[in-house]
Amino acid sequence: MGKITFILGGARSGKSMYALRLAKKRKRVAFIATCQALDKEMKERIRLHKEARPGHWKTFEEPRDLNSLLMRMGDAFDCILIDCLTLLVSNLILSGYKKEEVLKEIKAMLVSLRKKRAKVIMVSNEVGLGLVPANKLGRDFRDIAGKVNQMAVKIADEVLFIVSGIPMKIKGGK
């Protein structure tokens, strides 16, 4: 069973770059991207993210079914980096999944991750520090993402909160 590191932070806080630095210490890295390029601006963001990753890493673009992907991957990697859980939750909700279905999917994924021998690094946004969203969909997303983060923290060996590029250890580690 490998170590699980959960990295949490606000938008543009530096959490993805920090996760990349951690993963670069490993040789066989699987990068699981949950983002979908739905517009020109997002395509450019994805392109820049790809350029920041070493070329020998294996990238998997999977917006929803991470558990099946993890099963197919087996133990071929010594590090699995998932960026990010927040987009995964968004993708599931926008695909019509209800709260209970999202949480069931995430729970299955977390159980699979806990069984991996690889080091696992998960990235997610802290969505509970801002304003209360103005519409029901926004509030539902915030509530589900908050619950997902709590589930991930519970199984993680180490949790870091990134603020303006500075990591603060919340759980585990030295």
**Alpha carbon separation from 132 to 138, 141, 163 (Å, rounded):** 8, 11, 21
Residue 41 confidence (pLDDT)? 87
Reduce the DSSP state of residue 133 to 3 states and report it.
coil
56 catalytically annotated:
no
Model-level pTM? 0.93
Instruction: List the structure tokens of 6.
Output: 């959960």
Which pLDDT value is given to residue 173? 63
**CATH fit for domain 4-171, picks 3.40.50.1360, 3.40.50.300, 1.20.1260.10, 3.90.1300.10:** 3.40.50.300
Give the tens place of pLDDT for each residue, 104-151. Answer: 999 999 999 999 999 999 999 999 888 889 999 999 999 999 999 999
* Mean pLDDT, range 83-99, rounded to an integer: 96
- Which residue's structure tokens are 């997303």? 141
Give the pLDDT score at 174: 62
Parse the chain into domains and list their residue ranges.
Answer: 4-171
Out of 3, 26, 49, 171, the active site residue is 49
Q: What is the pLDDT of residue 35?
A: 86
Residue 71, classed as helix, strand or coil, is: helix
Residue-level pLDDT at 43: 85
Provide mean pLDDT across the span 5-11.
Answer: 95
Using one digit for the tens of pLDDT, what is the confidence trace for 11-60?
889 999 999 999 999 999 999 999 877 789 888 887 888 888 888 999 99
CA 115/CA 34 separation, integer angstroms: 21
- The predicted pLDDT at position 158 comes to 97
Look up residue 98 and give its DSSP letter: -
Predicted local distance difference test score (pLDDT) of residue 37: 79
